[in-house]
Every structure is written in structure tokens, then in C-alpha cells.
Chains A and B, each alone.
Chain A
Amino acid sequence: MIVETTANTPFITMSVVMPLIGAILLMFVPKAHAAAHKGLALVFSLLAFIVSLSIWVNFNSGMAGFQLVEDHAWLPFGARYTVGVDGISLLLVMLTTFLTPLTIFGAFKAIEKRTKEFYIAMLLLETAMIGTLVAMDMVLFYVFWELMLIPMYLLIGIWGGERRLYASLKFFIYTFAGSVLMLVAILYMYTKGGLQSFAYLDFLKNGMGIKEQMWLFAAFGLAFAIKVPIFPFHTWLPDAHVEAPTAGSVILAGVLLKMGTYGFLRFAIPFFPQAAGAFTTPIMVLAVIGIVYGSLTAFAQSDIKKLVAYSSVAHLGFVVLGMFALTQEAVNGAILQMVNHGISTGALFLGVGILYERRHTREMADYGGLARQMKVFAAMYLIIVLSSIGLPGTNGFVGEFLILAGFFRDALSGPASLKTLGITLGVIAATGVVLGAVYMLNMYRKVMFGPIVHEENRDLKDVSLREFVVLGVLIVMIFWIGIFPNTFLSKSEASVKHLIDNYKAQVVQQRVKSASSNDLQAVLDKAVDDKAAGREVLQ
């Protein structure tokens, strides 16, 4: 992993700072001017998006390493302000800057109290999220990582539902507990590893032994597993989602959960490849359990928002499965699926919010027959539901297909001892495709179809122009990614290839070390086969 290009114009810093400037300006706006709060927040989040488009335009898909890198001295003990993007972080940065203005726009009506603080929190959250994704220095990363927690904690705790305090603390403590372990791991690597700096690129060459790797991987992995969340660390998620305001849920599901999966790809796997290899099977088993378990528990919910929350557990299970399959198409599919989940689940939550603003309930039983009253909303929500269950033509299909394809390739080309397990896991994971349709269409039917049984639902207003725009933009993305996924897949292809080649090389190296000379040839042959298989072009 190397620095490919340095920035002439600091686009990355600009996109990090833009929301922050907005937040600072907001502080000088009087409390009563709600319209100004909204306008300012929207404008600055849009500016951040425009700046991030320059990152996108200046990004060279052919390069695997970091691009548009900026590097400055920062803290006296060697931590530097180093930022850059590669194919893995680029898509998530774009997702963040894309979702935030939509979320802010979507919250215009829902947030009535403390509007000023709300939009400040949203903008600070955006700064923290972008910072986390572009940081190339471990201290910088950790600072941004923890900074994300605070605004989200406030969003849930202040603008949340009845049990908001319980939910926000559960969220905070769960994730904080995980990150503290990660901090310890970072410091351990710095001191014991004899590293000269906190630079990400130095940490990559940490030279830890396999035993240390296992512990360190576990420390990093736990922080990320809680964030994703991987079963059984997921129980904070439904509570947080149900209590969070719509905007909080959208950002939480849309971006914050991806920080966990991103963390695996950026840190845990490349730092500790051998440990990652050893942990692969248990993590895959947990991912598959997550898919089935998340789907079944989603099916058991009567609260729409809880249903969507549990569906996230299932969807993120797919992403984790793809990441740890460690084949080109699976990892690339997993990255795309992170974006897909952000879009689809974000849209699902926005839809729930639209309903909640009208009826102040999230119980499916309180709805029914809405498709007659809210025709446009029903049509839009159907598209979103279909994208969530991965119908071909929508974004969800491309991600799930690539993940499963890559997973099966890994399973079928692996050693015979793991083949049966691999195929079994793959088949169970694929049942998620059926189960997803079961709970999602069941929810859609209960809310939208049938006769109107509650009088309150008879005069519900269809989507407003603002709501139409918010959902409409997301729907455009659903089809764009579904039909022309290469716009996005091509961006991450090179970086993913580099990641996998590196991982394979390190794992093979380890195998060579431990293998006797007789096995050496076999191991090398296998490595050559793997490479050949990776390049083989199928139609």
C-alpha cells in the first residue's frame, strides 16, 4: 500500500472541514431562526457533497494506493494529520456526503425542538464520519472515530423517543467499550512494534507474530464487530434505532454501521492477515447466523422501525460474509453492498419517518390500506423494499450476487476439508434471499394493502414535494447502481485487488514458513492456482 498521488488542492480536507464551518456559523445564529438553521445546514452539507464530487472526479480508478494525500505535522508525539482516499474509502466518503444533505432535508419537518443544536450535531457528525474514512494516521483516525460517538449520542438522547436515554447510553457504552480495546491495541502496536510513527502505512508493516496478531485482531475486531454489528453484539442496534429520530436512524444505519465493516477492510485484515485467516471461519459462521437470525427476528417484529433495524443485522451479515470470503468479487461486492445498504435502508427509515410524522405510530397494525391514500408514497416505498430484498435491476441484487458468487468461489476452490462447510454456509446464507422477501413483503402488505381499518388513515396526505425529492433521489441511485454498477465497482476494483493479493501473499508466506520442504511445492502451486483463478475471465 503506497501513496499514489498527493493533492494539489486539499479537496479531502475541504470536505472534512465544510460541515464544521457550517456548524460554527450555526452557533452565531439566534435560537429562534429555525429556517436559517435548516438552510445553513442544508447548504453546507451540499457544499461538502460538491467538494467530495471533486474527489470523485480526481480519483484515478487504476491506482490501488492512496490518492490526493495531504500530510502535515500535527501533535508533538508523532501523530500527523495525514488524509487520503483509496478505492475502499472513496465510495463510503461519497455515501456519507450524499446521505447527509438528504437526511438534513428529510428532517426539516420532523425536528421542531432545538433545531439549532440538532443541525450542529448533524454537521459535526458528518465531519467526524468523513474524517474517520480519510484518516491515514492512527491517532487521527481514533480521534475522529470517537468524535462520531458524541453527536450520535446526543441525537438519540435529545431528539429520540420515550426510552431515548436508555437507548443512547446503551449505544454509547457498547461502542465505547469496543473502541477502548482498539485504543489499547493501537498503543501496544506503537510501543511494542517499535514503530516510528502512527502513520497507517507504518502500521501496515508491523511485523507482529502470529500470537500477538491474534490478540490484536480480537481487540480491533471487537470494536468493529460491535459497530457492524455482528451477531451476537447487535442488541444495542434495535433499541438505538427505535428511539433515534429518523435522521439519526438514517445516518446510523446508512454510515455508522459501515465504519465497522470499513474497519475490518482498512485495519483488521491488512494489519493482521494471518490472524484474519485464522478467524475467518468463526466470523463467517457468525455472519451467516446473523443473516438468518436477523431475518427471523425481523419477521417477528410488529414495529416497522424495529423490523428495518433487524433487517440491517441480516444485510450486514452479507457484507461481512463477502469481506471474509476475500475474493475479488466478494470484497468488491461487499463494499458496494455497504453503499447499497446505506441507500436502501436509509430510504426505508426515511419512509418510516414519513409515516410516523403523519400518524405518530410505528406499529404495523395501526396502518393498512395506505396504498389507496398515499399512492405515490406506496409506489416509491415498494421500489425501496424491492431494492432491500435484492430484486435484479436494483442495487441490492448486484451486491448480494457478487458477495455470494465470491463466497462460493472461495468455498468451492478451498481445501476439501472446508468445502462442505463452505457450501453449507453459502446455501444457508442464500436462504436470506427468501427470508428477506418474507418479512419485507409481509410488512409492506400489512401497511399498504387491504382495506382501511383505522379511520385516522383515511385522510392521510401523500408525500410532499420535499419528501418526494428525498426519496426520489435515493430511488435514482437504486436503479443507477442496479443497472450500471460498474460506475462504482470500477472505483474499488484496484484497491481491493491489492488488498487481497497482499493478504494471500502474507498468508502463503506464513504457510511456507510452517510447512516442511515437502509441502512447500504444494503450497506454492496452490498460490499460483489461486492467482490464475483470480484472473480467469468468465462471461
Chain B
Amino acid sequence: MIKETTIQSLLYVIVFAPLIGAIINGVFPRVLSRRAVSIIGVGLPAISFVATVLALVGFLGLRSADPTYTAVSASLFSWIVSGPISVDFALWLDPLSIVMTLVVTGIGSLIHLYSVGYMHDDPSYARYFSHLNLFLFSMLLLVLGRSLLLLFVGWEGVGLCSYLLIGFWFDDMDKAIAGKKAFIVNRIGDFGFLIAMFFLIFALGGSLDIPSLRAMVADPTSIFHSNTAMVTAVTLLLFLGATGKSAQIPLYIWLPDAMAGPTPVSALIHAATMVTAGVYMIARLNFLYVLSPVSMAVVATVGALTAIFAASIGLVQNDIKKVLAYSTVSQLGYMVLAVGVGAFGAGIFHLMTHAFFKACLFLGAGSVIHAMAGEQDIQKMGGLRKKMPITHITFLISTMAIAGVPLLSGFFSKDEILFSALALQHSSGTVAPWLNKLWFGLAIGAALMTAIYMFRLYFLTFSGELRSPDAHPHESPASMTIPLIVLATGAALAGYLGLPIPGKNLLHNWLAPVFAGGASAINNTGSHTLEYALMGVSTVVALAGIGLAWALYRGPWQHVPAKLQESLAGLYKTLVNKYYVDEAYNAVVVKPLIGGSKLLHRWVDAGLIDGIAVNGPAKALAYVGRTARRLATGDVQTYAAIFAIGVVLLVLFVM
């Protein structure tokens, strides 16, 4: 039996172990050997993972002793105190943060291990592990922070680490620019988050402490239930933050560029963990979001649109990491859709399964890139099945999982989202019922595209013959393949934690206390028959997509893609160029900002203020200047002496 105080100590171990790793590797990069860097860099995240497992065991013990037990809290010190603001550095562990922490430290440790092999020859090896550990620390702060403000600290912290790791190879200016873009776009989201917090505490009298806030909201006579407009404003502003972090329309644009970072970074930060922060935050505040049917509908719609929008771009990309990046944006869209319709458990479920298969896919892609000596164009690959058996089989399992092949993890989680999109309705009834059909339609369309682009990727990379005669691909070392095997196992089996059997859904039962507030506002209009029927539908969709991909890229219709490119040249170009969104932002935001600031400086500062308002005095200045020059170039020592004597005299008056 692990005591509560022990769990509290474990919480500190979980959070601070990676920080210690980051500091050691960050401060002493030249002193430590490569081996020492690896041991510290991988060991401390592993300690964090072990502590998480122990905390879980302890939590289970406490819960079996007292079924109403909900969370362990640990407060280390009081952080900011002034006036009515009082924020503690406090952590808490509840069922939701346990799931997240397991994902973050578990998959995080595996990716650290993988990095030992992947980054082995990099001259900045220690810096890499320092940043990656710092990321884990920030992410754990985000997940375990009891106060929204501490969550925000982690939220900005992961943004910083993302910036540092995207631009890890900063000699390449494009990569440095990609990092900066990620930071700035995320900051736009954070701006929304920040203002949301102020409205929350001062317009609604709420608390930044999440459990306290939940207790306040639970009171049906509270202002949260009467001032719906303000609740809507708060939740939408927070959602702006989520669209930044979780790469949703309109702020998704940084994520594809983020692929400039090392591939393990893409796997950990830009697929499995950081980008799910927005989904986590909404799930965390489920009790608040359900109070605004409008916000919920906006969240769901943005999620559904992002899912299909990004998937359509993924259909035509040739860079292996770009395909996966758009796939991530699309899958995040599913999660956002889920929490938007009130299926918070389903959102977290998909977050978890996605973490496994997408991390595996990225690491597999890394293994492929490694083997192809840096080549990322799938048109130049092919036939890797034979050369890289472990990479191949793990990649295939994960591809099947994401495509929704029955009985693999993605099948269950995606299916639950599809069902929820159609069947869950807000109890207020203020949201148009046809929206459910729209969401479902977009989601099923995205599911078809997912199966197509993922198997296109798979066939072009692994089957057929190698299309680069000079390449000599080989299987990667064990430090890279072991994480692949573990992740692929998870990708295959994680779905069984959330089987759609009434009352037996382990994950839902586990998370039920967290989502109790949100669930009460959501009606399930669907039956289990519908759920099983939809499973059939999505199976057909997945298989159709896979079949189509096979026919187009491996089977009898291989000449069709080229023909389609010609006959639908306009559409094709639009997709390849990602709907020209970056170009549009450039024209509407970036260029005016650069030009405007220069004009402002030239016209207002130099022209209006200095030129006109200070012009007269400036001429006088010039005159004084001529006179004063004689003084200033004279004996300064004398001048200073007079000044000093004056001060002394003043002081002497006192005595």
C-alpha cells in the first residue's frame, strides 16, 4: 500500500527528474561523455515513467480503499501572491492526468531511447537531450498543474522547447525560421489563453485552480449558468489557444513546417504529446465548455473541418514527414471534434491510441530516412520491405491502425468519435441537429482519405522496387527498433482499453469521475445498434480506401494518378500548395506588418514627432550644441570635481 504522502513525493519526482536531466546536459555539455549524456538523457525520463507507474499503483490502492477518492494534490510553494491573485505551485494527479502522464513519460522515454541511435553522430548531442528533457518537464507541468496558470506555464514551456528543437539545426536558416514561426503562431493562441484567464477570474469570479473552479461551476445558481455570453467568450478564447497548440484551423500552419526538426522530435512533440495539449485542456475544462453550446459547436466544427482539410492535403504530398504532419493535423481534428461534441472520453481515447501509432509512424519514418541517408521523398523510395523488416512490419501495423482496420487501436477510437459525432447532442437543444450530420459526414470523408493517403505512403515506401539506385538502405540499430516494436504493440492493442461494450469500457470507467460534469449536459441519441452498424460502415470505408490506394499505387491503376494530375491540374496544384494558405497569411498579415512597422517608424517617429514637433527646438539644440561643445571637450575632471564638491557641501549642511 503506497501512502498519499508517497504519491505526493512521486509527483515531484515525475516532474523534476526530466528537469534535472535538462540542467545537467544543458550546463555541462563539454564535460560529459556521450555515454554519460545518453544515460542522463534517457535515464531521468525513465525514472519519471517508473514514478508514474508507482503513482498509478498507489492511486489504485487509495481508490480501492475509498471509491470516492478523486485526486492527489501536492503544493510545493506559493508562486505569485499579490492582491486577490494567489497562485500556488501545486500539482495534482487525477484519472485524466494519470492517463496523460503515462503517455507522456512512457512514449517519451521510448523516444529518448530511440534518439540515442538516431542522433548518435550529431555534434550537439548533449544540447539535443537537454532540450528534449526540458520538453518533458514542461509537458508534465502542463498535464499535472493544478492551476490553469501553472498549466499555462507548461503550455508556453512546451512551445519554447518546440521552438528550440524545430530549429535544432539552426545553421540552416529555413529551419530556424520554421522554429520562430512555430513560436509566434503559438503565441497568438497563448494571447487568447491569457485573456481567457482574466475574464474567467474577473468577469465570472472564477478560480484558476481547476478543482475549485469545478466546484464553483457545479453550483447551478452560479454566474456560470446565467452569464452564458461570458462563458462562451472565455471558452472560445481558450480554444484559440488550443487551435495554436493543437494545430487546428486557423493556426495549424506551423505544424507542417515543424517537420524541420529531428524526426524523434516530430514523433514526441509534434505527434504524440505537445500537440494534444489543446485537446487535453478542453477535456480538462469539460464542465466549463458544456455550459456554452455555441462554443461546443464551434469546437466540433473546427475539428471536423480541420480533419478533412488536412487529410485532403495529405493525399498529394511526397515528403514522408509532411504526409505524416498533415495526418497529425487531421487526426487532431478528430480529437477536437470529439471533445466538441461532448465525447471527452473518446477524445482522450483517440489521443492515446494516436500517440502510439503516430509516434511509431514517425519513428518508422525516421528509421527510413536514416536508412536512405536523409532522403525524404517517397517517390524515390520503394521496396524497403525487404531491407528493413522490423521497420516495415511496425510501420504496417501502425498504418493499419490509423487507417481504421478492424481490431487495431485506431479502429476503436476513431469509431467512437464517428458515432459520437452523429449521436451526441447538447441537452440545451440550441444547436442545430443537422450539424451532427455535417460533422459525421466530414469525419467519415476524412476517414476515407486517411486510409488512402496512409496506404499510398506505405505502398510507395515499402513495396515494389527501390527507385533510388544509389541508396543502400539497411535496418536500424536496436536502440531504434526496440521502441518501434513496443509502440507497434501499443498501436495494435491500446484499443482494448476502450472496447465499446456497455459498462466494460475500462478507459471510460476510469475517466468517468473527471468527465461527470461535462457528461451531464450531453444526451446520447444513438443506440448500441447504431454504434455497431457504424462500425460496419467505417470498416467498409477503411477497406475501400486501402483498396483504392492499392489499386492506384501498387495495383492495376498505377497510371491513373498521373492522369488525374493532368485532368484535375487546378485541384491538384491547390492541394500540393496546401490551398495557398501560407501565401495568403503572408500577404494579409506578415507583409503588412513588416511594411507597416517601417512606415510607422519613418513617418511617425522620424517625420511627425522628430521632424515637426521637435523641429523648432532641434534647431535651437544645434545652436546650444555649438556652444556646449567647448564645455564638453574641456577638462571633464574639473567639471566632475565641481559637481562632487557641490554634493559634499550639500551633505555637510546636514552635519
Query: What residues make up the interface of A, taking CB atoms closer than 8 Å to B?
Result: 17, 20, 23-24, 27, 72-75, 81, 114, 116-117, 120-121, 124, 127, 143, 147, 150-151, 154, 157-158, 165-166, 168-170, 173, 232, 235, 238, 293, 296-297, 299-301, 327-330, 332-333, 369, 371-372, 379, 386, 391-393, 397-398, 401-402, 404-406, 408-409, 412-413, 426-427, 430-431, 433-434, 437-438, 441-442, 445, 448-451, 483-486, 489-490, 493, 533-539
Contacts and interface: CB of A to CB of B under 8 A. Distances in A.
B167 interface: yes
B198 A408 contact: yes
B621 A445 contact: no
Nearest to A16: B651
B184 A296 contact: no
Given A299-B594, A493-B82, A431 B191 contact: yes
Contacts of A372: 171
27 contacts: A27-B641, A72-B655, A81-B654, A150-B643, A168-B632, A296-B593, A296-B597, A297-B600, A300-B598, A301-B601, A329-B84, A379-B26, A391-B157, A402-B85, A404-B194, A405-B202, A426-B198, A434-B191, A445-B167, A445-B180, A449-B171, A449-B173, A490-B81, A534-B84, A537-B84, A537-B86, A539-B212
Contacts of A328: 82-84
Most buried by A among B171, B201, B594, B640: B640
Contacts of B195: 408, 426-427, 430
B285 to A, nearest CB: 15
A329 B82 CA distance: 5
Given A392-B153, A537-B86, A538-B201, 17 more contacts: A23-B640, A27-B637, A74-B653, A124-B647, A238-B605, A327-B83, A328-B83, A372-B171, A398-B80, A404-B198, A405-B85, A438-B593, A449-B171, A485-B79, A493-B82, A538-B207, A539-B208
A528 B191 CA distance: 33
B644 A489 contact: no
Interface string B621-655: 10011001100100011011101100110110111
A434 B187 contact: yes
Interface stretch (B347-355, B383-391, B606-614): B606-614
B434 interface: no
Nearest to A306: B601
Nearest to B156: A392
A124 B81 contact: no
A330 B81 CA distance: 12
User: Which of B77, B187, B655 has the largest count of A CB atoms less than 10 A from its CB?
Assistant: B187
Nearest to A24: B644
Interface string B482-511: 000000000000000000000000000000
Interface residues of B, number: 83
Contact of A437 (B84, B184, B209, B598): B184
B78 interface: yes
Contacts of A402: 80, 82, 85
A336 to B, nearest CB: 8
B187 A433 contact: yes
Interface centre among A73, A127, A538 (most CB of B within 10 A): A538
B147 interface: yes
Given A117-B636, A232-B609, A433-B190, A300 B600 contact: yes
B378 interface: no
B85 A391 contact: no
A293 B600 CA distance: 8
Contacts of B191: 430-431, 433-434
Scoring A405, A426, A535, A536 by chain B CB atoms within 10 A of each residue's CB, the highest score goes to: A405
Given A441-B184, A450-B176, A332 B194 contact: no
A449 B170 contact: yes
Contact of A441 (B183, B194, B197, B641): B183
B84 A409 contact: yes
A437 B187 contact: yes
Contact of A408 (B87, B202, B207, B653): B202
B278 to A, nearest CB: 17
B572 interface: no
A391 B177 CA distance: 19
Nearest to A150: B643
A372 B127 CA distance: 12
B625 to A, nearest CB: 5
Contacts of B194: 401, 404, 430, 433
A386 B170 contact: no
Contact of B654 (A74, A166, A409): A74
Contacts of A404: 194, 198
Contacts of B644: 20, 23-24, 27, 120, 124
Contacts of B208: 538-539
